[in-house]
C-alpha cells in the first residue's frame, strides 16, 4: 500500500485532528510500517498524535513535525542525560543518539532516572533505548556505548540538529564544545554539583569554553555530590533550551549562563563572552 492509502487510513481513524495510539498501532500492523513512519505521515497530514494533546497549546502541529524531524545527540546518559532523554522522548524529538560508555552502579540509584536495582551492571545506553521504547515507540534511538573523544566525536555527532552536554568530565566537555563549533551544531550545556547547577547554549560561531574554567578531570560534583533533585531540575532547563533551539523560538541562553542555587532558590544570569 502506498503513502496516500496510509494517510487516508489515518484520517479515517482520527478523532478530529487527533490520532489515538490504537490507530497508530493498527496502521503499523496493517501497512507494515514502523511507528516512526506512521507518526511522520500523520504529522505531515496535519494530524496530531493524541500523546501530544497537552503540547498543542504550547507547540503547533507544524512545530511538532519539526521536532519529529530533529536528531539530537545526548552525550552522557547518567544523572542529567537520563532526564534529558526522558523529556526529549516525551516532547516528541524524532531521533535520539545516546552516547555513554558506562554501566549502572549502585551509587547511581539516588539520582539517575534510567537506573534500577534490576539494571545494575547494564549499559546506560541500553537502558535509555528500552525506556524510550516504552514511552514513545515513534522515537528512533541510536546507541553508542563509547566515550566521546576528539577521534570519534565528529562521527558520533554527524547529522545532529543539536547536541546535549550531560557529561561529568571537564576535558570531554572541552572536546565536545570544540567539535560542535567545528560542525556548527548548537550545544546545550548543563553541569551539576550538590545544590547547584548551570545551563547555557553554545550556538554556531560561539564558544562556551570560558565557562568551563581551567580545571581538568571530573567536575566539582565529586566533592559536593548530587542529590536526586538537582539533575532533574537542571536537565529540565536543558530540555527547554533544546526545544527552543530546535524550533527557533524564544531566546536561548547563548553567551549567558543560568546559575542555579537550589539551596537558597536563587537564579542568576552570568555573561561569559
Sorted by sequence, the CB contacts under 8 Å of residue 121 that are 6+ apart come out as 103, 104
> Span 161-169, mean pLDDT?
97
Residue 146, pLDDT score: 98
Calculate what percentage of the chain has a pLDDT beyond 90: 93
pTM of the model: 0.95
Residues 88 and 49 both lie in one domain: no
Beta bridge partners of 64: none
Residue 3, pLDDT score: 84
Domain count, the chain: 2
pLDDT digits (tens, 9 = 90+) for 89-101: 999 999 999 999 9
Residues 185 and 97 both lie in one domain: yes
Distance of CA 76 to the CA centre of its chain: 10
Residues 28 and 145 both lie in one domain: no
DSSP string, 33-72: --HHHHHHHHHHTT-EEGGGGGGTTTS-HHHHHHHHT-EE
Residues 41 and 122 both lie in one domain: no
- Reading the block at residue 263, the C-alpha cell is 539551596
Domain assignment present for residue 76? The answer is yes
Domain assignment present for residue 64? The answer is no
Residue 50, pLDDT score: 98
CA angle 41, 46, 49 (to 5 degrees): 70
Residue 222, pLDDT score: 63
Residue 214, pLDDT score: 65
Contact 139, 132 (CB under 8 A): yes
- Reading the block at residue 94, the C-alpha cell is 524524532
> Span 45-73, mean pLDDT?
97
Residues 95 and 226 both lie in one domain: yes
Amino acid at each position: 500500500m502506498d503513502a496516500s492509502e496510509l494517510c487516508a487510513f489515518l484520517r479515517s481513524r482520527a478523532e478530529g485532528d487527533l490520532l489515538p495510539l490504537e490507530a497508530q498501532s493498527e496502521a503499523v500492523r496493517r501497512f507494515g510500517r514502523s511507528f516512526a513512519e506512521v507518526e511522520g505521515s500523520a504529522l505531515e497530514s496535519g494530524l496530531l498524535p493524541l500523546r501530544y494533546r497537552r503540547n498543542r497549546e504550547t507547540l503547533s502541529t507544524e512545530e511538532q513535525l519539526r521536532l519529529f524531524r530533529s536528531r539530537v545527540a545526548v552525550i552522557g546518559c547518567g544523572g542529567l542525560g537520563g532526564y534529558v532523554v526522558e523529556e526529549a522522548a516525551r516532547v516528541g524529538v524524532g531521533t535520539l543518539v545516546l552516547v555513554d560508555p558506562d554501566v549502572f552502579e549502585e551509587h547511581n540509584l539516588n539520582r539517575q532516572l534510567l537506573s534500577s536495582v534490576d539494571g545494575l551492571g547494564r549499559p546506560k545506553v541500553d537502558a535509555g533505548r528500552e525506556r524510550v521504547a516504552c514511552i514513545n515507540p515513534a522515537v528512533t534511538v541510536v546507541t553508542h556505548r563509547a566515550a566521546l573523544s576528539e577521534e570519534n566525536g565528529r562521527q558520533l555527532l554527524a547529522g545532529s540538529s543539536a547536541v546535549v552536554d550531560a557529561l561529568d568530565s571537564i576535558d570531554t566537555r572541552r572536546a565536545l564544545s570544540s567539535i560542535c563549533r567545528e560542525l556548527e551544531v548548537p550545544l546545550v550545556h548543563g553541569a551539576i554539583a550538590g545544590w547547584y547547577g548551570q545551563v547555557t547554549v553554545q550556538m554556531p560561531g560561539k564558544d562556551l569554553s570560558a565557562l568551563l574554567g581551567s580545571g581538568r578531570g571530573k567536575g566539582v560534583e565529586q566533592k559536593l555530590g548530587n542529590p536526586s533533585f538537582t539533575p532533574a531540575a537542571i536537565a529540565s532547563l536543558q530540555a527547554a533550551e533544546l526545544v527552543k533551539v530546535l524550533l527557533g523560538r524564544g531566546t536561548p541562553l547563548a553567551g549567558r549562563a543560568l546559575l542555579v542555587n537550589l539551596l537558597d532558590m536563587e537564579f542568576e544570569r552570568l555573561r561569559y563572552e
